[in-house]
Structure 1
Amino acid sequence: MSKTANKKVVCEKLIEYGKKDRDIVALTSDSRGSASMTDFGNQLPDQLVEVGIAEQNIVGMAAGLAASGKKPFITSYAAFVTMRAIEQVKVDVAYSNVNVKIIGISGGVSYGPLGMSHHALHDIAVMRAIPNIKMIMPADRYDTEKLMEELVNYEGPVYVRVGRNAVEEVHQSADYEFEIGKADQLSGGSDLTIIATGELVSTALKAAELLEEDDLDCRVINMHTLKPIDEKAIIKAAEETGKIITVEEHSVYGGLGSAVSQVVAENHPVPVKVFAIPDEPAVTGYPEDIFKEYGLTPSNIAEKAKEMFD
């Protein structure tokens, strides 16, 4: 199975659309290399703004560009653009409701060896609480391609989080429907539903395959849009499968698990188990080591899922 970094796809699509539309502007915060935006700068130098390590400034400048009719895309570290610059995101972008796309790169524990300062494990909770901003986490290159196609023409603030490393494809091709705010059901099932987001969707699919070996029919949903979340898909899963597991590269508080649990509790209460990073400073290490430490692996998810049937 081939692997591609979603951030690389972001750059490829921005180059493609930027050549057609001179109003598209990319902004980086000393993150051109990390965001895979070097080619964009080489091919469209007049449409790239480098602000240096100044996340508050990059958000303010993007808001100003948007207010002037430009279509700014911020490509900055997820951990910093959602923490250091959150006041600017809230006031300059959300409150003003300007057309700014914030691409948070190296989300989750992508920068695992650099420790907690570089982990982006609270961005879902923060961004979902701010009005006017949509929040999206594509699962693979196809999700990212389709998302970028929509974002180019979508008017309004959007926060997108992608990881640093190449990820497995969860779709066989681009032959499927992608719609902001509508969940993507990857497999059917009547015994249990696994709802995952971002680059752990592939982990959820592998867990479902393990459960099939124990004759458990597992539905897998790619919840790429965290806000607005697809309540209909969640309620349908609760009604039809009776048990739900959520999987995310985020704190156990305020993320996908919290959002799904709220929808379930208010509409059709069923057991929900949340797989996420616990409420502690996450360990330092490579992403795969961190996932193993906290049980975000196919084998652990499958084992805990089976316990829901005891």
Structure 2
Amino acid sequence: MLLKTSGQRWVGLVISMVAMIFLACASIVYGYTETSWKMAYQAFTDFNGTNEHIIIESVRLPRALIAATVGASLAMAGVLMQTLTKNPLASPGIFGVNAGAGFAVVVAVSLFSVGSLQAYTWIAFLGAAVAAISVYVIGSTGREGLTPMKLTLAGAAIAAMFSSFTQGLLVLNEAALEQVLFWLAGSVQGRKLENLASVFPYLLAGWVAAMILSPKMNVLSMGEDVAKGLGLNTGLVKLGAGIIVIFLSGGAVAIAGPIGFIGIVVPHVARAVVGIDHRWVIPYAGLLGGMLLLVADIAARYIIMPQEIPVGVMTALIGTPFFIYIARKGFNGR
């Protein structure tokens, strides 16, 4: 744990906020079309209708805001998932959220010829929510109720089922494959502020609710028996955390597609910085997640310029070494 006192953590939080704002500004400035910091400033203070100003306002600004928002949401969802499942590798993928969202979009494209990115957003959100609710219901059945092992197994089963259905539909419909392949790889390219605005209220509600629930997550992380002994209604807390996960991960996947590794890696980095207190881990994870996705998105523009790779591929390249380290080290899921 790097930051041990509340004062240090507050300072670190402010520095992280400044760093994320700087990275968001860098995302607006750098890309295939050459622009400068001065040009970006003028685009918002003295817009003149040039191609560069249009790109800055209508393409890069939404992209930067969406990357920061999605990264923060996935990281915070990852914190809650790892605490709920006691699984250090838990993520939206293990809850079946990514697979459910992807399947819903592929069904819409294959069977109903949906081609609007705005429609993708709501369809993906619905699919993600259905998948997460299914996992929760299946994981809650039986005498013992909801347990970390049952939740993890239910998530793996739902993810495998939806992934199989998705692959089957794409094999049968090559046109659908071409249409949704970039979205399925995870990307913030081409998204508009309207896409973010449509789900931002849900993401904001998830952020606020996660912070409100953070003290109870501290108690829950001590173990089921200890939490009950301290008077915590563990079933209600788990239900609340599950709903927050649906809002955060479902909304993030709906906007940007299934972006991996953010929800796995960032919570561990946040714990290494501030310890296991969820009152600090959750906001730090949000900021670090936003920063990581912004860095990945900027890097994705330059790897094979003038082409771009999906940011989901970039996060996989960045996150895989950390994933292997976490798996080998065997961090606990608190």
TM-score where L is the length of structure 1? 0.23
Larger radius of gyration: 2
Relative contact order: is structure 1 or structure 2 higher (C-alpha 8 Å, sep ≥ 6)? 2
| Greater helix fraction, Structure 1 or Structure 2 | 2
TM-score where L is the length of structure 2? 0.22
| Greater strand fraction, Structure 1 or Structure 2 | 1
